[in-house]
Amino acid sequence: MLDAIGCTEMSAMLRGAAAQIRDNHELLGKLDSVGGDGDHGITMVRAMSHLEKAVDAASGKDLKSLLHDVGWGILGVDGGATGPLLGMFFMGMSEAAEDIETLDALGLTDAFEAGLAGVRAQTKAQPGDKTMVDALVPAVMAAGCAAEDGGDLLSVLRDAANAAAAGAAATKDMQARFGRARNIKELSIGTPDAGATSVSLIFAGFLKGVEANG
Amino acid sequence: MLDAIGCTEMSAMLRGAAAQIRDNHELLGKLDSVGGDGDHGITMVRAMSHLEKAVDAASGKDLKSLLHDVGWGILGVDGGATGPLLGMFFMGMSEAAEDIETLDALGLTDAFEAGLAGVRAQTKAQPGDKTMVDALVPAVMAAGCAAEDGGDLLSVLRDAANAAAAGAAATKDMQARFGRARNIKELSIGTPDAGATSVSLIFAGFLKGVEANG
Amino acid sequence: MAMKKLVNKPENLVQELLEGFALANPGKVALEGSNLVVRTTPKLKDKVALVTLGGAGHEPAMSGFVGEGMLDISVPGEIFAAPGPPRVVEALRAANRDAGVLLIVLNHAGDVMSANLAMGMAKKEGLNVKQVLTHEDISGGPRSNPDERRGLVGCLPVIKVAGAAAEQGRSLDECLAIAERMEANMATLALAVSGATHPSTGDVIATIADGEMVVGMGQHGEAGGGTQSLKSADETTDIMLAALLEDLQVKAGDELFVVLNGVGSTTLMELYLVLRRAGQILESKGIKMARTLVGEFLTVQEMGGFQMCIGRLDDELKALWDAPCNSPALTVK
Amino acid sequence: MAMKKLVNKPENLVQELLEGFALANPGKVALEGSNLVVRTTPKLKDKVALVTLGGAGHEPAMSGFVGEGMLDISVPGEIFAAPGPPRVVEALRAANRDAGVLLIVLNHAGDVMSANLAMGMAKKEGLNVKQVLTHEDISGGPRSNPDERRGLVGCLPVIKVAGAAAEQGRSLDECLAIAERMEANMATLALAVSGATHPSTGDVIATIADGEMVVGMGQHGEAGGGTQSLKSADETTDIMLAALLEDLQVKAGDELFVVLNGVGSTTLMELYLVLRRAGQILESKGIKMARTLVGEFLTVQEMGGFQMCIGRLDDELKALWDAPCNSPALTVK
Ligand SMILES: Nc1ncnc2c1ncn2[C@@H]1O[C@H](COP(=O)(O)OP(=O)(O)O)[C@@H](O)[C@H]1O
Ligand SMILES: Nc1ncnc2c1ncn2[C@@H]1O[C@H](COP(=O)(O)OP(=O)(O)O)[C@@H](O)[C@H]1O
Ligand SMILES: [Mg+2]
Ligand SMILES: [Mg+2]
Ligand SMILES: [Mg+2]
Ligand SMILES: [Mg+2]
């Protein structure tokens, strides 16, 4: 039973996310090459190795520092739009973990919400604009609902992962209004958004990470 | 009966050469594109329009000036190797026409020989090296033989044209040792030389020119 | 279109190209810190410093603009990807001085996010930094909607005039005002005739059919604008220049610069044809082609095409344009 | 490979490109007489003048080298075709002066014939002219057989040092000796990875299969040297530099310049990788990479590839290399 996420559990979640991305990076590159420049796969792989480096180095640190170092590491990935967006997600989570040793279900959803706020401070993209926001918003909302309904940490993570996957899948029928793919207009319809797919992989990885650990 | 070549007859010969080149310039470009840069057709067309301009402007001038102006005009064509070679052919002919009003068979072959000397001063290419020299040398030799055998002007021109054509055809089996085609070495074997083909067209045109005129 | 590039391991590409770039310009630039590109002879500390950031793969941009009369520091990113905020902050700190630092940012999502985050951090640290955003690509949308307009080769004129102003000892606010005036008075349109490949992934980053061309193509092969039949140099110039003059509301008597930026495989020969035609059009309209710049400044790998950038000049901007500079990509005596 | 070029009527191509070229460099060059490219601020008459000739289509070469510290007059020919002797003579007459005129000729049949005829005419007229021939392409044959070696981008170092010497007021014989010393001490090898099209005819002027490259390709797509599998930047550099060092018999302690001349669609990025590797190799052999020049100087339309040119420098040549110059294609402060 998983009833609190401390540094160990968060590290497992983060490594789970990295594994998911690495296993699917070719797909990510392909999705990005339709309307973008095809580099999203390699950028995400680099981001995840920065993430893992931060996790490796963080042993003994508190949650806030762990998440801060992960966010800062991803910000330093020199990854175009992805770096700041994803980096600020973890920077936001880090801020929510101020003075907190472990997260329960509500604490985790608070952290996710703060991460989302970190992302949304970087971009005007709204749900429906075919960006990673389309996976992130439903994931965070689903996590919040699960927690408010009294769900445990695993169900919070499961609902979040499912919602992220559904959100990413739904971007297939959308027309891109942000990112490079915006420029191909209606031609962007028919392919899921690369960044949204990454987010869904990250949330799937969070779940797998704690499951494997538990 | 053609028994002397004055300015009128030489003009007809020159125009005949221009017509032949113009009718076949695409072939010339194609031949040059195998081992060279494919510009021989357009270069020759430009050379011939310089030639015609000189002929047009030469009315009333003597043979020497006519041929000099044609040669100088072709030298001014900015045509890579072709301009100097062909230009110096006519410059050479012009020198041989010093103080001469009309050419008989022997006079014409002398002029051709002087033209050949003009060309050979520009290049070390020998017969067998797959250049215009391979058409020019036999043409000039055949003209000389015909004249020495007492042939008339038409038979001199006919023998020269036939020899030039045979010389050009024989370049097909040669390996280029001069000009850009030299660089493709044995790959140049199998295609006749562009410049030699031009020379054979020019001699064919000389003949047609006087035939049409006479 | 298979990739035919002379590269080594993709993961080392940017590191290696920066080392070669520094080696190619030993008297002008050097690498410092986490691959910041700096001048070998720094500007005096009592003058405003200029910093920029941007993805690699566009050589000579942006690091080729580092030098006397131009930039002080460039922060190169990965291929086509902006550097993250940490290195931008590092650059702002390295450039920091009482006179202040002007950060020049091209409007691309990643660059803007990195710049904004870095500016926020720098200001928290008490650094005297200001920012100017270039977004002169008219294919993005109307002038009233600047967010949608990308920053293309117009960064070069902005860097040139702001860099000259800084060299003259103008204040940060003055440099900013000059950069913004130049920015507000220019317009760019990009043409693509053939595609390119991504040097790390090998992916085709734009495909353009035989006999076609795209007006309004972005700097990374992002489509946009209109696909149309390939046209002559004159016709293409007519189309592009008309759009630019309209967007910038250029009037008879105005003085313009014209920058033609080859993006890769398009030859100088072609750019000269385009410039010739542009000169004819402007003359016929009573507009003065006061300054020109033709070359490869901000490339998109081996893509075929060019960016046409025009800008309205006043006497001060002309004088700044003419001021000396000495950078790998542009030297004015 | 269909041609995708922005051109107008082929028969006007050279005229139009020259007009655009002059428009792009108004403070530097102008067209005079029958399209001779001259400086806008001529060199003093008591100094030796430098003249060159060469086909168009290789922009910025050769006319881009006209300017202070470089050439006085360039005689551009047609696309890939040398100008005829009449215009070369016109240039020699225009450059004529008591100090003398140095004609710089690249070893290509047409150029050499035109130059020789023009030199003959000029001497008959009593002009004080001398000639230097560049032929540093090692793919043509051994050093002992200079006739077979083409003149490639090595013309640029020769023009640079001879131009600087002329600017310093050195005599015609001294300028000639300097040009010949530089010429005798350099070696070039060209690499092609992708082909190009002829801008007037539209013909493909070289085809190189996917996954292949050609070492020793000529300046107009003439094949030569060896077709081999496409290699990494490092491996390619190793092969080319080894051949050049061998040909020039370079020894530890020698000081070299390295010029990397992109011929069209190969990016600066790639050239930087090559330079980086060249620097490593030279360092490991105790050879000094004393000067470098990386860019597009003598192009072959949109061909992919580059020319690597190395040359042995002595103190005098180094000083001449560093002297200021101001031409469209190269400016040294
Ligand atoms: N302005 C933006 N707002 C939100 N998300 C964006 C924005 N720009 C890009 N993205 C997301 O980033 C993804 C592309 O990431 P990536 O390819 O790594 O960056 P880049 O576009 O710089 O090459 C897109 O699929 C989209 O989800
Ligand atoms: N050095 C040379 N000596 C003799 N003939 C030559 C030489 N170089 C070229 N040619 C002739 O010129 C022809 C090519 O002419 P053209 O294509 O007009 O010139 P370029 O080679 O300058 O493009 C060749 O087919 C050959 O006959
Ligand atoms: Mg991308
Ligand atoms: Mg040819
Ligand atoms: Mg290029
Ligand atoms: Mg180019």
**Distance from the alpha carbon of residue B42 to the mean position of ligand 4, in angstroms:** 9
Give the residue, by CA position, lying nearest to ligand 1 atom 9: A179
Write down the number of H helices and E strands in chain D.
Answer: 8, 16
Q: Is the pair A, D in contact (3+ CB pairs within 8 Å)?
A: no
Average pLDDT, stretch C236-265? 98
Separation in Å, CA C49 to CA B20, B187, C31, C63: 69, 60, 17, 15
Co-location of C89 and C181 in the same domain: yes
CB A36 within 8 A of CB C221: no
**Is pLDDT above 70 for D222?**
no
Q: Quick one: pLDDT at residue D70?
A: 98
- Domain-embedded: residue B139: yes
D112 plus D220 within the same structural domain: no
**pLDDT at residue B184 in the model:** 77
Written as one string, the DSSP assignment of C175-220 is HHHHHHHHHHTEEEEEEEEE-EE-TTT--EEE---TTEEEET--TT
What CATH number does the domain containing C71 carry?
Answer: 3.40.50.10440
Residue of chain A nearest C202, judged by CA positions: A38
Q: Which of C100-114, D136-150, D216-230 has the lowest mean pLDDT?
A: D216-230
Contact B78 D10 (CB under 8 A): no
Q: Domain end: C158, C185, C212, which one?
A: C185
* Beta strands at C255-262 and C304-312: parallel, antiparallel or unpaired: antiparallel
* End-to-end Cα spacing for chain C: 42
Percent of chain D with pLDDT over 70: 97
- Name which of B151-155, B164-168, C1-5, C85-89 the model is least confident about: C1-5
**Mean pLDDT value of segment B198-210:** 97
Closest approach of C124 to chain D, Cα-based (Å): 36
Give the Å distances, CA to CA, from B81 to A74, B40, B159, D61, D90: 61, 10, 27, 19, 19
- Residues D151, D200, single domain; the answer is no
In the block, residue with structure tokens 């620097």 = D279
pLDDT at B185: 80
Asked whether residue B90 is domain-assigned, the answer is yes
> pTM for the whole thing?
0.95
Q: What residue of A is the nearest CA neighbor of C205?
A: A37
Mean per-residue pLDDT, A7-36: 94
Q: Is residue D113 situated within a structural domain?
A: yes
Does residue D193 sit in the same domain as residue D287? yes
Residue D331 lies in a domain: no
pLDDT of residue D6: 97
**Which residue has tokens 């020119």?**
B209
- Radius of gyration of chain B measured on its C-alpha atoms: 16
Number of domain units in chain A: 1
| Token pair in block for residue A65 | 């520092």
What does the alpha-carbon distance between residue B7 and residue B60 come to, in Å, rounded to a whole number? 8
Pocket of ligand 2 (CB under 6 A): B 32, 36-37, 39-40, 43, 79-82, 85, 123, 125, 131-133, 178-180, 193-196; D 81, 109-110
Closest chain A CA to residue C196: A37
pLDDT over threshold 70, residue D309:
yes
CB contact under 8 Å between D81 and B178, yes or no, is: no
Counting one residue from C and one from D, how many pairs have CB atoms under 8 Å apart?
Answer: 189
Sheet holding C212-215, edge to edge: C226-229, C212-215, C186-194, C304-312, C255-262, C288-295
Q: Which domain range does residue A88 map to?
A: 7-212
* C332 within a domain of the structure (yes/no): no
Considering the domain architecture, whether residues D202 and D131 belong to the same structural domain is answered as no
The pLDDT tens digits for D94-138 are: 999 999 999 999 999 999 999 999 999 999 999 999 999 999 999
C264 CA from centroid of ligand 6 (Å) = 5
Verify that C179 and C191 share a domain, yes or no: no
Tallying the residues shown for chain C, one arrives at 333
pLDDT at A65: 97
Answer yes or no: do C173 and C213 share one domain. Answer: no
pLDDT of residue B77: 94
Number of H helices, E strands in chain A: 9, 0
Is there a single domain that holds both residue C249 and residue C306? yes
Residues D29 and D119 in one domain: yes
- Report CB contact under 8 Å: D276, C213: no
Tell me if A2 is assigned to some domain: no
Burial annotation D207-238 (CB, 10 A radius, 16+ → b, else e): ebeeeebbbbbbbbbbbbbeeeebbebbebbb
What is the rounded average pLDDT of the residues C126-137?
97
Coil/strand/helix, residue D86: helix
**Residue of D11, D113, D124, D135 best to disrupt the B interface, most CBs of B under 10 A:** D113
Degrees to nearest 5, angle at CA A172 with A171 and A175: 70
pLDDT of residue B59: 81
Q: What is the pLDDT of residues A59-118, one digit of tens each?
A: 888 999 999 999 999 999 998 899 999 999 999 999 999 999 999 999 999 999 999 999
Residue B27 falls within a domain, yes or no?
Answer: yes
Q: What is the DSSP letter of A176?
A: P
Please report the pLDDT score of residue C204 as a whole number. Answer: 84
pLDDT band, very low/low/confident/very high, at A135 (cuts 50, 70, 90):
very high
Rounded to whole angstroms, the Cα distance separating A85 from B142 reads 84
D152 assigned to some structural domain: yes
- Contact yes or no, C with D (3+ CB pairs under 8 Å): yes
Q: Taking CA atoms, what residue in C is nearest to A87?
A: C84
Whether A25 is in a domain gets the answer yes
ipTM of the complex: 0.94
C-beta atoms of C213 and D4 within 8 A? yes
C141 in any annotated domain = yes
Say if CB A104 and CB A150 are below 8 A apart.
no
In percent, the amount of chain C with pLDDT more than 90 equals 90
- Burial zone of A23 (CB within 10 Å; 0-12 exposed, 13-18 middle, 19+ buried): exposed
Confidence of residue C210 (pLDDT cuts 50, 70, 90): very high
Residues D102 and D112 in one domain: yes
Phi, psi of B80 (to 5 degrees): 60, -130
Residue D177 class from Cβ within 10 Å (0-12 exposed, 13-18 middle, 19+ buried)?
A: middle
Angstrom distance (rounded) from CA D273 to CA C18:
8
Structure tokens at A165: 């996957």
Band (pLDDT 50/70/90 cuts) for residue D7 is very high
Beta-carbon contacts of B3 under 8 Å, excluding residues fewer than 6 positions away, are B104, B152, B153
Closest CA to C276 of C261, C264, C258: C258
Structure tokens at A63: 């949650």
Tokens 């028994």 correspond to B3
Rg for chain C (alpha carbons), in Å? 19
Last residue of a domain, one of C152, C185, C218: C185
When pLDDT is averaged across residues C116-129 and rounded to a whole number, the result is: 97
Ligand nearest to the CA of B167: 2
- Please give the structure tokens belonging to residue D314: 């002595």
C-alpha distances (whole Å) from C318 to each of A77, C164, C256 are: 39, 11, 9
Q: Which of residues 194-233 of D touch B (CB under 8 A)?
A: 198, 200-201, 203-205, 218, 220-224
Are C52 and C166 found together in one domain? yes
Give chain A's largest Cα–Cα span: 49
Residue C246 lies in a domain: yes
Give φ, ψ of D256 to 5 degrees.
Answer: -120, 150
In-domain check, residue C5: no
| Tally of domains within chain D | 2
D1 occurs within a structural domain: no
Beta-ladder partners of D137: D188
Distance B98 CA to ligand 4 centre (A): 33
Whether residue D176 sits in one domain with residue D300: no
Q: Specify the residue for token string 């074997």.
A: B189
CA gap B13, A209 in Å, rounded: 91
Query: Using CA atoms, how far apart are residues C46 and D252, in angstroms rounded to an integer?
Result: 45
DSSP string, C88-103: HHHHHHHH--TT-EEE
Helix %, strand %, coil % of chain B (to 5): 75, 0, 25
Position D14 scores a pLDDT of 98
Is A124 among the domain residues?
yes
Give the dihedral of Cα atoms B124, B128, B132, B137; nearest 10 deg.
90
* Sign of the alpha-carbon torsion through C103, C107, C110, C112: positive
% chain A with pLDDT above 70: 99
Q: Which residues of D touch C59 (CB under 8 A)?
A: 267-269, 272
Burial of D44 (C-beta count, 10 Å sphere; 0-12/13-18/19+): exposed
Among the partner residues B78, B84, B187, nearest to D117 by beta-carbon distance: B84
Is residue C1 pLDDT above 70, yes or no?
Answer: no
Distance between CA atoms of C168 and C302, rounded to whole angstroms? 37
Q: Which of A144, A40, A34, A127 has the alpha carbon at shortest distance from A86?
A: A40
pLDDT at B103 over 70: yes
Query: What totals of helices (H) and strands (E) does chain C contain, helices first?
Result: 8, 16
Structure tokens at C182: 């130049």
Instruction: Give the N- to C-terminal CA distance of chain B in Å, as an integer.
Output: 7
CATH number of the CATH domain containing B85: 1.25.40.340
Minimal Cβ distance to D222: which of B84, B122, B183: B183
CB distance D272 to C199 below 8 Å: no
Q: Which of D79, D117, D218 sits opposite B39 (nearest CB)?
A: D79
Q: Residue C129: which domain range?
A: 10-185
Q: What is the mean pLDDT of chain C?
A: 95
- Interface residue ranges in chain B relative to chain D, Cβ cutoff 8 Å: 29, 33, 35-39, 41-43, 46, 72, 74-85, 87-88, 122-124, 178-181, 183-185, 187
- Using one digit for the tens of pLDDT, what is the confidence trace for B145-188? 999 999 999 999 999 999 999 999 999 999 998 887 877 788 88
Tokens of B147: 């004249």
pLDDT reading at D41 higher than 70: yes
CB atoms closer than 10 angstroms to residue C152: 32
Look at residue B192 and tell me if it is in a domain: yes
| Within a domain: B1 | no
**Alpha-carbon distance values, C82 to A172, C304, C329, D113 (Å):** 26, 23, 20, 53
Which of D185, D216, D236 is the C-terminal boundary of a domain? D185
Tell me the CA–centroid distance for residue A84 and ligand 1, in Å.
Answer: 10
Structure tokens at D38: 């001259």
- CA-based radius of gyration for chain A: 16
